Amino acid sequence: MTQTITVIRGDGIGPEIMDATLHVLDSMNLGLQYEFADAGLAALEKQGELLPQATMDSIRKNRIALKSPLTTPVGEGFSSINVELRKRFDLYANVRPAKSFPNTKSRFPSGVDLITVRENTEGAYIGEGQALSADGEVATLTQRVTRRGSERIVRYAFDLARRIGRKKVTIVHKANILKSTSGLFLKTARAVAAEYPDIECNEMIVDNTCMQLVMRPEQFDVIVTTNLFGDIISDLCAGLVGGLGLAPGANIGTDAAIFEAVHGTAPDIAGQGKANPCALLLGAAQMLDHLGMPEKAAKLRAAIIATLEAKDSLTPDLGGTGNTMSFAKAIASRI
Protein backbone atom coordinates (compact mmCIF):
# COMPACT_ATOMS: atom_id res chain seq x y z
CA MET A 1 0.00 0.00 0.00
CA THR A 2 1.27 3.46 -0.83
CA GLN A 3 1.01 6.12 1.82
CA THR A 4 1.28 9.76 0.81
CA ILE A 5 2.73 12.15 3.35
CA THR A 6 2.94 15.92 3.28
CA VAL A 7 6.55 17.10 3.39
CA ILE A 8 7.40 20.63 4.53
CA ARG A 9 11.05 21.44 3.86
CA GLY A 10 10.98 24.51 6.07
CA ASP A 11 13.40 27.36 6.65
CA GLY A 12 17.03 27.78 7.73
CA ILE A 13 18.62 24.33 8.02
CA GLY A 14 15.19 22.82 7.23
CA PRO A 15 15.75 21.98 3.55
CA GLU A 16 19.16 20.41 4.28
CA ILE A 17 17.98 18.12 7.05
CA MET A 18 14.84 17.23 5.08
CA ASP A 19 16.84 16.25 1.99
CA ALA A 20 19.08 14.11 4.22
CA THR A 21 16.08 12.53 5.93
CA LEU A 22 14.31 11.74 2.66
CA HIS A 23 17.54 10.23 1.35
CA VAL A 24 17.52 7.77 4.25
CA LEU A 25 13.78 7.06 3.97
CA ASP A 26 14.17 6.45 0.21
CA SER A 27 16.74 3.77 0.96
CA MET A 28 14.20 1.85 3.06
CA ASN A 29 11.55 0.91 0.46
CA LEU A 30 8.70 2.16 2.61
CA GLY A 31 6.22 2.79 -0.19
CA LEU A 32 5.96 6.43 0.87
CA GLN A 33 5.04 9.15 -1.58
CA TYR A 34 5.88 12.74 -0.81
CA GLU A 35 3.61 15.68 -1.44
CA PHE A 36 5.68 18.83 -0.93
CA ALA A 37 4.01 21.84 0.64
CA ASP A 38 5.31 25.15 1.94
CA ALA A 39 4.90 26.91 5.25
CA GLY A 40 6.80 29.62 7.09
CA LEU A 41 9.18 32.02 5.40
CA ALA A 42 9.47 29.85 2.27
CA ALA A 43 5.69 30.02 1.83
CA LEU A 44 5.61 33.77 2.48
CA GLU A 45 8.24 34.34 -0.20
CA LYS A 46 6.66 32.03 -2.79
CA GLN A 47 2.94 32.41 -2.11
CA GLY A 48 2.58 35.57 -0.04
CA GLU A 49 1.32 33.86 3.11
CA LEU A 50 2.82 31.88 5.97
CA LEU A 51 0.34 29.04 6.04
CA PRO A 52 -1.21 28.66 2.58
CA GLN A 53 -4.58 26.94 2.17
CA ALA A 54 -2.94 24.37 -0.15
CA THR A 55 -0.65 23.31 2.71
CA MET A 56 -3.57 22.98 5.12
CA ASP A 57 -5.50 20.97 2.51
CA SER A 58 -2.53 18.69 1.89
CA ILE A 59 -2.13 17.89 5.60
CA ARG A 60 -5.87 17.40 5.99
CA LYS A 61 -5.96 15.00 3.05
CA ASN A 62 -2.84 12.97 3.86
CA ARG A 63 -3.27 13.17 7.65
CA ILE A 64 0.50 12.80 8.08
CA ALA A 65 3.15 15.48 7.72
CA LEU A 66 6.90 15.44 8.14
CA LYS A 67 7.98 18.98 8.89
CA SER A 68 11.29 20.82 9.13
CA PRO A 69 11.61 23.84 11.42
CA LEU A 70 9.86 27.03 10.30
CA THR A 71 10.61 30.70 10.71
CA THR A 72 7.71 32.82 11.92
CA PRO A 73 8.56 36.40 10.87
CA VAL A 74 7.60 38.99 13.47
CA GLY A 75 4.46 40.96 12.65
CA GLU A 76 2.97 38.52 10.14
CA GLY A 77 -0.11 37.64 12.14
CA PHE A 78 1.01 34.56 14.08
CA SER A 79 3.12 34.38 17.16
CA SER A 80 4.21 30.91 16.02
CA ILE A 81 3.24 28.84 12.98
CA ASN A 82 3.98 25.67 14.91
CA VAL A 83 1.48 26.61 17.61
CA GLU A 84 -1.01 27.64 14.90
CA LEU A 85 -0.72 24.23 13.21
CA ARG A 86 -1.30 22.48 16.55
CA LYS A 87 -4.42 24.56 17.13
CA ARG A 88 -5.93 24.20 13.66
CA PHE A 89 -5.56 20.42 13.59
CA ASP A 90 -6.29 19.91 17.29
CA LEU A 91 -2.99 18.06 17.72
CA TYR A 92 -3.63 17.23 21.33
CA ALA A 93 -0.71 14.89 22.04
CA ASN A 94 2.86 16.13 22.03
CA VAL A 95 5.11 13.08 22.13
CA ARG A 96 8.81 13.58 22.82
CA PRO A 97 11.14 10.62 23.21
CA ALA A 98 14.40 11.19 25.10
CA LYS A 99 17.03 8.53 24.65
CA SER A 100 20.74 8.58 25.31
CA PHE A 101 22.80 7.76 22.26
CA PRO A 102 26.44 6.65 21.98
CA ASN A 103 29.13 9.31 21.45
CA THR A 104 26.89 12.22 22.37
CA LYS A 105 27.05 14.65 25.25
CA SER A 106 24.55 12.81 27.42
CA ARG A 107 24.78 13.10 31.19
CA PHE A 108 23.49 9.55 31.46
CA PRO A 109 25.32 7.63 28.74
CA SER A 110 23.16 4.53 28.88
CA GLY A 111 20.29 5.01 31.26
CA VAL A 112 17.73 7.27 29.63
CA ASP A 113 15.07 5.94 27.30
CA LEU A 114 11.78 7.59 28.08
CA ILE A 115 8.90 9.28 26.30
CA THR A 116 7.05 12.37 27.51
CA VAL A 117 3.42 12.59 26.41
CA ARG A 118 2.29 16.18 26.94
CA GLU A 119 -1.29 17.41 26.66
CA ASN A 120 -1.00 20.04 23.96
CA THR A 121 -4.27 22.01 23.92
CA GLU A 122 -5.54 22.96 27.38
CA GLY A 123 -4.30 23.71 30.90
CA ALA A 124 -2.42 26.99 31.24
CA TYR A 125 -2.20 27.45 27.46
CA ILE A 126 -5.82 28.22 26.56
CA GLY A 127 -5.02 31.93 26.32
CA GLU A 128 -7.98 33.00 28.47
CA GLY A 129 -8.26 35.21 31.48
CA GLN A 130 -4.90 36.86 30.99
CA ALA A 131 -5.29 40.08 32.89
CA LEU A 132 -3.20 42.66 34.64
CA SER A 133 -4.87 45.04 37.04
CA ALA A 134 -4.84 48.74 36.14
CA ASP A 135 -2.20 49.48 38.76
CA GLY A 136 0.00 46.70 37.42
CA GLU A 137 0.06 44.95 40.79
CA VAL A 138 -2.04 41.85 40.14
CA ALA A 139 -1.93 39.37 37.24
CA THR A 140 -4.33 36.50 36.61
CA LEU A 141 -4.63 33.62 34.20
CA THR A 142 -7.30 31.00 33.61
CA GLN A 143 -6.35 27.34 33.38
CA ARG A 144 -8.82 24.84 32.04
CA VAL A 145 -8.55 21.08 32.28
CA THR A 146 -11.38 18.91 30.99
CA ARG A 147 -12.24 15.31 31.65
CA ARG A 148 -12.40 14.68 27.91
CA GLY A 149 -9.01 16.34 27.32
CA SER A 150 -7.42 14.43 30.18
CA GLU A 151 -8.95 11.15 29.15
CA ARG A 152 -7.79 11.33 25.55
CA ILE A 153 -4.19 12.24 26.43
CA VAL A 154 -3.87 9.53 29.07
CA ARG A 155 -5.48 7.01 26.76
CA TYR A 156 -3.04 8.05 24.06
CA ALA A 157 -0.13 7.42 26.45
CA PHE A 158 -1.35 3.96 27.45
CA ASP A 159 -2.16 2.97 23.86
CA LEU A 160 1.28 4.16 22.80
CA ALA A 161 2.90 2.15 25.58
CA ARG A 162 1.01 -0.94 24.54
CA ARG A 163 1.69 -0.46 20.83
CA ILE A 164 5.45 -0.01 21.12
CA GLY A 165 6.02 -2.42 23.98
CA ARG A 166 6.63 0.01 26.83
CA LYS A 167 6.04 -1.34 30.31
CA LYS A 168 5.16 1.56 32.56
CA VAL A 169 3.30 4.88 32.53
CA THR A 170 3.93 7.56 35.15
CA ILE A 171 1.11 10.07 35.70
CA VAL A 172 2.68 13.41 36.62
CA HIS A 173 0.52 15.95 38.45
CA LYS A 174 0.30 18.53 41.25
CA ALA A 175 -3.10 17.55 42.59
CA ASN A 176 -2.09 18.24 46.20
CA ILE A 177 -1.99 22.00 45.45
CA LEU A 178 -3.85 22.51 42.16
CA LYS A 179 -6.79 20.59 43.49
CA SER A 180 -9.29 21.42 40.76
CA THR A 181 -7.27 21.24 37.53
CA SER A 182 -4.55 18.76 38.39
CA GLY A 183 -7.05 16.94 40.61
CA LEU A 184 -9.38 16.29 37.69
CA PHE A 185 -6.47 15.19 35.53
CA LEU A 186 -5.28 12.72 38.16
CA LYS A 187 -8.73 11.31 38.83
CA THR A 188 -9.40 10.84 35.13
CA ALA A 189 -5.95 9.33 34.58
CA ARG A 190 -6.51 6.76 37.34
CA ALA A 191 -9.77 5.65 35.73
CA VAL A 192 -8.11 5.23 32.33
CA ALA A 193 -5.14 3.40 33.86
CA ALA A 194 -7.49 0.84 35.36
CA GLU A 195 -8.41 -0.21 31.83
CA TYR A 196 -4.80 -1.18 31.10
CA PRO A 197 -3.89 -3.86 33.63
CA ASP A 198 -1.04 -5.03 31.38
CA ILE A 199 0.80 -1.70 31.78
CA GLU A 200 2.33 -0.78 35.12
CA CYS A 201 1.22 2.63 36.32
CA ASN A 202 2.42 5.00 39.03
CA GLU A 203 1.77 8.61 40.06
CA MET A 204 4.30 11.28 40.85
CA ILE A 205 4.07 14.93 41.87
CA VAL A 206 5.76 17.16 39.31
CA ASP A 207 8.41 18.68 41.58
CA ASN A 208 9.53 15.27 42.78
CA THR A 209 9.47 14.09 39.15
CA CYS A 210 12.03 16.74 38.22
CA MET A 211 14.35 15.63 40.97
CA GLN A 212 13.88 11.95 40.16
CA LEU A 213 14.53 12.61 36.46
CA VAL A 214 17.88 14.15 37.27
CA MET A 215 18.88 11.56 39.88
CA ARG A 216 17.44 8.28 38.59
CA PRO A 217 16.07 8.77 35.06
CA GLU A 218 16.17 5.03 34.38
CA GLN A 219 13.04 4.53 36.52
CA PHE A 220 10.89 6.25 33.85
CA ASP A 221 9.42 4.72 30.73
CA VAL A 222 6.40 6.78 29.57
CA ILE A 223 5.40 10.02 31.34
CA VAL A 224 1.97 11.54 30.80
CA THR A 225 1.11 15.01 32.05
CA THR A 226 -0.70 18.30 31.48
CA ASN A 227 0.43 21.06 29.14
CA LEU A 228 2.71 23.27 31.24
CA PHE A 229 4.35 20.45 33.20
CA GLY A 230 4.88 18.57 29.94
CA ASP A 231 6.52 21.58 28.33
CA ILE A 232 9.05 21.87 31.13
CA ILE A 233 9.64 18.16 31.62
CA SER A 234 10.21 17.40 27.95
CA ASP A 235 12.94 20.05 27.74
CA LEU A 236 14.47 18.77 30.96
CA CYS A 237 14.57 15.31 29.38
CA ALA A 238 16.14 16.64 26.16
CA GLY A 239 18.85 18.14 28.37
CA LEU A 240 19.48 14.79 30.07
CA VAL A 241 20.37 13.20 26.75
CA GLY A 242 22.54 15.93 25.31
CA GLY A 243 20.23 18.52 23.84
CA LEU A 244 18.77 19.54 20.53
CA GLY A 245 20.55 17.66 17.78
CA LEU A 246 18.91 14.33 18.69
CA ALA A 247 15.49 15.39 19.99
CA PRO A 248 12.42 14.59 17.86
CA GLY A 249 8.80 15.35 18.56
CA ALA A 250 5.37 14.40 17.27
CA ASN A 251 2.15 16.38 17.44
CA ILE A 252 -0.75 14.03 17.17
CA GLY A 253 -4.48 14.58 16.77
CA THR A 254 -7.44 12.53 15.69
CA ASP A 255 -7.38 13.75 12.09
CA ALA A 256 -3.73 14.58 11.53
CA ALA A 257 -0.25 14.13 12.92
CA ILE A 258 2.87 16.21 12.36
CA PHE A 259 6.36 14.84 12.98
CA GLU A 260 9.32 17.13 13.47
CA ALA A 261 12.64 17.94 15.09
CA VAL A 262 12.39 19.83 18.36
CA HIS A 263 15.10 22.31 17.41
CA GLY A 264 14.58 25.49 15.39
CA THR A 265 15.87 26.76 12.07
CA ALA A 266 19.43 27.38 13.32
CA PRO A 267 20.12 30.34 11.00
CA ASP A 268 23.71 30.51 12.29
CA ILE A 269 24.62 27.31 10.42
CA ALA A 270 22.03 27.31 7.61
CA GLY A 271 23.27 26.51 4.11
CA GLN A 272 26.62 25.20 5.33
CA GLY A 273 25.96 21.46 5.47
CA LYS A 274 26.71 21.46 9.19
CA ALA A 275 23.24 20.60 10.49
CA ASN A 276 22.74 17.29 12.23
CA PRO A 277 19.82 15.50 10.53
CA CYS A 278 19.25 13.03 13.40
CA ALA A 279 16.43 14.85 15.19
CA LEU A 280 14.30 14.95 12.05
CA LEU A 281 15.28 11.36 11.21
CA LEU A 282 14.14 10.29 14.68
CA GLY A 283 10.93 12.24 14.05
CA ALA A 284 10.54 10.17 10.89
CA ALA A 285 11.02 7.03 13.00
CA GLN A 286 8.14 8.18 15.22
CA MET A 287 6.12 8.64 12.05
CA LEU A 288 6.86 5.07 10.96
CA ASP A 289 5.71 3.79 14.37
CA HIS A 290 2.55 5.85 13.96
CA LEU A 291 1.99 4.44 10.47
CA GLY A 292 2.14 0.90 11.81
CA MET A 293 5.67 0.13 10.65
CA PRO A 294 7.44 -0.46 13.98
CA GLU A 295 10.04 -2.84 12.47
CA LYS A 296 11.04 -0.16 9.97
CA ALA A 297 11.20 2.43 12.75
CA ALA A 298 13.42 0.12 14.80
CA LYS A 299 15.66 -0.46 11.80
CA LEU A 300 16.06 3.27 11.25
CA ARG A 301 16.92 3.88 14.91
CA ALA A 302 19.39 0.99 14.90
CA ALA A 303 21.14 2.43 11.82
CA ILE A 304 21.43 5.83 13.53
CA ILE A 305 22.88 4.21 16.66
CA ALA A 306 25.34 2.12 14.65
CA THR A 307 26.52 5.22 12.78
CA LEU A 308 27.01 7.13 16.04
CA GLU A 309 28.91 4.18 17.51
CA ALA A 310 31.20 3.99 14.48
CA LYS A 311 31.64 7.80 14.56
CA ASP A 312 31.12 7.63 10.82
CA SER A 313 30.69 11.00 9.08
CA LEU A 314 29.22 12.70 12.15
CA THR A 315 28.34 16.40 11.90
CA PRO A 316 30.43 19.01 13.78
CA ASP A 317 27.95 19.33 16.69
CA LEU A 318 28.81 15.67 17.50
CA GLY A 319 32.53 16.32 17.12
CA GLY A 320 32.77 14.89 13.62
CA THR A 321 34.02 16.20 10.30
CA GLY A 322 31.12 14.98 8.17
CA ASN A 323 28.28 17.02 6.76
CA THR A 324 24.51 16.72 6.75
CA MET A 325 24.32 14.55 3.64
CA SER A 326 27.43 12.42 4.25
CA PHE A 327 26.04 11.61 7.73
CA ALA A 328 22.72 10.65 6.14
CA LYS A 329 24.49 8.45 3.60
CA ALA A 330 26.44 6.73 6.38
CA ILE A 331 23.13 6.01 8.13
CA ALA A 332 21.45 4.81 4.93
CA SER A 333 24.34 2.43 4.29
CA ARG A 334 23.61 0.71 7.61
CA ILE A 335 19.89 0.19 7.01
Applying CB under 6 A, which residues contact ligand ATP? 13, 69, 71, 244-245, 263-269, 275-276, 279, 317
The answer to whether 90 is a known catalytic residue is no
Shortest distance (Å) from residue 12 CB to Mg ion: 10
Q: Which residues of 69-84 are buried (b: 16+ CB within 10 A; e: fewer)?
A: bbbbeeeeebeebbeb
**Helix 14-26 crosses helix 278-290 at what angle (to 10 degrees)?**
50
Beta carbons within 10 angstroms of residue 202's beta carbon: 12
Q: Which is nearer to ligand ATP, 157 or 282 (CB)?
A: 282
Q: Which is nearer to Mg ion, 42 or 153 (CB)?
A: 42
| CA dist 156 → 151, 160, 162, 167 (Å) | 8, 6, 10, 14
Q: Which is nearer to ligand ATP, 85 or 178 (CB)?
A: 85
Query: Residue 324 binds which one of Mg ion, ligand ATP, none, with CB within 5 to 8 A depending on kind?
Result: none
| CA dist 4 → 60, 93, 291 (Å) | 12, 22, 11
The answer to whether 207 is a known catalytic residue is yes
Query: Residue 230 binds which one of Mg ion, ligand ATP, none, with CB within 5 to 8 A depending on kind?
Result: none
Q: Which is nearer to Mg ion, 70 or 233 (CB)?
A: 70
Site residues (CB under 5 A) for Mg ion, limited to 241-300: 264
Of these residues, 231, 289, 317, 329, which one is catalytic? 231
CB closest to ligand ATP, residue no:
264
Shortest distance (Å) from residue 264 CB to Mg ion: 3
Shortest distance (Å) from residue 69 CB to Mg ion: 8
The answer to whether 125 is a known catalytic residue is yes
Q: Which is nearer to ligand ATP, 169 or 275 (CB)?
A: 275
Beta pairing, strands 93-99 & 64-67: unpaired
| CA dist 304 → 21, 237, 257, 269, 324 (Å) | 11, 20, 23, 22, 13
Shortest distance (Å) from residue 280 CB to Mg ion: 15
The answer to whether 67 is a known catalytic residue is no
From CA 150, how far away is CA 118, in angstroms rounded?
10
Of these residues, 11, 38, 99, 125, which one is catalytic? 125
Backbone angles phi, psi at 34, to 5 degrees: -105, 130
Query: Residue 20 binds which one of Mg ion, ligand ATP, none, with CB within 5 to 8 A depending on kind?
Result: none
Query: Residue 175 binds which one of Mg ion, ligand ATP, none, with CB within 5 to 8 A depending on kind?
Result: none
Query: Residue 154 binds which one of Mg ion, ligand ATP, none, with CB within 5 to 8 A depending on kind?
Result: none
Residue numbers of the site for Mg ion (CB under 5 A)?
264
Instruction: List active site positions.
Output: 125, 174, 207, 231
